[in-house]
Amino acid sequence: MGKQADTKATATRQAPAGEAKATKAAPKTVRSTAETEKIRMALAARRDELKEEYDATISEITELQRDRLTDSAGDDQADTGTKTFEREQEISLANSILERVNQVERALERLDEGGYGWCERCGNPIPVERLAAFPSATLCVTCKQLEERR
């Protein structure tokens, strides 16, 4: 009996606070085919919207850059600085859109793998409310907050 109690105590011992937690594998989610297809269609539609927005932004950046090159005669340093700042803002916007496209594509991959709706980092379920507001979420609120603090 003493040996059995020692084994149970060892098996249920939690890791000390300083040790890193092992990442849990996301459990496979059982969804109806209709439910999965509805999610897939919504994510695919969002991905397509974002790709169109990205393409339009890149076209606009290209056109503005062309205009800046032909219309830069007589610019002083302030004009040049302003144009550089605006170009950097436009590129930042395009990169942000591309990052959102990648997030949606990752969510689609997770849907195919059966891990959609489960946090990639800790393996806990992502609340339905979070998925409703942000369907491409791959992290739970807690893990996302930890990521943003870095």
pLDDT at 33: 83
- The domain limits of the chain are 27-115, 117-150
Query: pTM for this structure?
Result: 0.68
Torsion angle of C-alpha atoms 56, 92, 51, 61, degrees rounded to 10: 20
pLDDT at 81: 78
117 in Cβ contact with 29 (< 8 Å)? yes
pLDDT tens for the chain, 150 residues: list them. Answer: 444 444 433 333 333 333 334 444 545 555 678 888 999 999 999 999 999 999 999 999 898 888 777 766 666 677 777 878 888 999 999 999 999 999 999 999 999 998 999 999 999 999 989 988 999 999 999 999 999 998
- Distance (Å, rounded) from C-alpha 47 to C-alpha 55? 12
pLDDT at 91: 92
pLDDT at 23: 46
Please report how many Cα atoms fall inside a 13 Å half-sphere around the Cα of residue 30, on the Cβ side.
Answer: 0
pLDDT at 2: 47
> Within a 10 A sphere around the Cβ of 138, how many other Cβ atoms?
21
Q: Identify any residues that bridge with 118 across adjacent strands, giving them in sequence order.
A: 125
pLDDT at 28: 52
